[in-house]
């Protein structure tokens, strides 16, 4: 894809704070290319974690927790 569909918001080696966007993705670009944006989450130390999934909950961008991992 050679970077198509993405816009870089932070430079390499740039210091950023938690919550600072570093990349932006063009959802329409991926939709038009019929590319699924589902992202798997792999927890390699799951036996040491308490994992809570909030399925079927209405979400709001930037403020809704859909999965929580605690040790």
Q: Residue 44 pLDDT > 90, yes or no?
A: no
Domain boundaries, the chain: 6-70
Q: What integer pLDDT is reported at residue 68 of this predicted model?
A: 81
Say yes or no to pLDDT of 50 above 80: yes
- How far apart CA 62 and CA 69 sit, in angstroms, is 17
Closest alpha carbon to 21 in 5, 29, 10: 10
């Amino acid at each position: 894809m050679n970077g198509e569909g993405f816009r870089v918001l932070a430079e390499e080696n740039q210091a950023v704070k938690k919550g600072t966007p570093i990349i932006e993705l063009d959802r329409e670009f991926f939709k038009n290319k019929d590319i699924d944006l589902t992202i798997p989450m792999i927890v390699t130390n799951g036996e040491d974690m308490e994992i809570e999934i909030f399925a079927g909950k209405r979400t709001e961008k930037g403020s809704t927790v859909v999965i929580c991992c605690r040790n």
